[in-house]
Structure formats: C-alpha cells, structure tokens
C-alpha cells in the first residue's frame, strides 16, 4: 500500500418529482441553513421531497450514521465533524498500491460503490404508437 486517504463519506438518496435545477437550489439552501420561506416553490420542493443519508466517518460514537428525512440533522452532523481532530477522526476511504518491481501504480481502490441516476426533463414531445395487431378477448 503506497497511500491511504482518510476522511468522511456521505451517501445521499433524494426522491422528488420536481425539476432538477430547482431541487438543487432547494437542497443547497436547506443543507446550508438558508431560509427558503420566502420562496413558495422551494418550500414546497423541500416539503414534498424525501431523503435518506448514510454518513461514514467522523466521531467514534457516530462513525456510521443513518439519517431519514431531516435535513437539519444532516447539516448538524456535517458541521460537527468538519474538523479533523481526536474526537472526529477520518476513516480510510481509499488507498493506492504500487508494484514492488518498479513502483508503478497498481490499483486505486475506493471504499465505496454507488449508482448515480440522472434524468432529463423535456417540456414537450410526441409519441407515435402504431398497433397493427388484433385484439383477443
């Protein structure tokens, strides 16, 4: 092993039916603690969205935490463990290995695997359905 990266990882699942650019704005505001009460659309996005988060790393008592639905909890945990010290150490999140014969890079391994899903919204479109078969009852 030639190097080890220490830190904290946050995996977040956000479920919503809202448009992606507005969701990002609402989520950024909510996590940073900014008020969205003046913007009805952002308030409704937060109210009608659900999320779950798993946080790996941080303080020893909170090494792995699961948060369900409260953005304030996520914000508090991120702030609490933001400084590396004795109470909030990082955990190994990635490492690299080198070959012994020539010290060339052999493997970069990240501790996590995840699936990223993206979506694209279309404002209008057309679908043609051509059915040339028969109907059987």
CATH number, residue 42: 3.40.30.40
Question: What is the arithmetic mean of pLDDT over 116-124?
Answer: 74
Whether 102 maps to a domain, the answer reads: no
Question: What are the tens digits of pLDDT across the range 20-45?
Answer: 677 888 877 777 777 777 778 888 88
When divided into structural domains, the chain yields a total of: 1
Whether 37 maps to a domain, the answer reads: yes
Which residues are within 8 A (CB) of 23 and not within 5 positions of it... i.e. 6 or more apart? 14, 16, 45, 49
Q: Is the pLDDT of residue 90 over 70?
A: yes
Calculate the CA dihedral of residues 28, 34, 40, 42 and round it to 10 degrees. 0
Whether 40 maps to a domain, the answer reads: yes
Alpha helices, H only, the chain: 20-32, 40-47, 71-80
The pLDDT value given to residue 21: 73
- Domain enclosing residue 47, as ranges: 8-83
The angle that helices 71-80 and 20-32 make with each other, rounded to 10 degrees, is 50
Whether 136 maps to a domain, the answer reads: no
Whether 72 maps to a domain, the answer reads: yes
The closest alpha carbon to 25, from 11, 40, 53, 45, belongs to 45
How far apart are alpha carbons 103 and 48 in whole angstroms?
53
The pLDDT value given to residue 102: 92
DSSP 9: E
The structure's pTM equals 0.56
Whether 106 maps to a domain, the answer reads: no
């Amino acid at each position: 092993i030639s190097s080890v990266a220490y830190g904290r990882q946050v995996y977040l699942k956000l479920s919503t039916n809202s448009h992606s650019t507005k969701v990002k704005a609402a989520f950024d505001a909510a996590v940073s603690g900014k008020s969205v009460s003046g913007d009805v659309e952002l308030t409704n996005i937060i109210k009608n969205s659900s999320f779950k988060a798993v946080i790996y790393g941080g303080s020893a008592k909170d090494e792995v935490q699961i948060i369900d639905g409260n953005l304030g909890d996520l914000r508090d945990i991120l702030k609490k463990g933001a400084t590396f010290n004795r109470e909030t150490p990082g955990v190994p999140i990635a490492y690299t290995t080198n070959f012994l014969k020539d010290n060339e890079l052999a493997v970069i391994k990240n501790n996590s695997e995840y699936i990223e899903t993206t979506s694209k919204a279309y404002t209008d479109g057309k679908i043609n359905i051509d059915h040339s078969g028969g109907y059987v009852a």
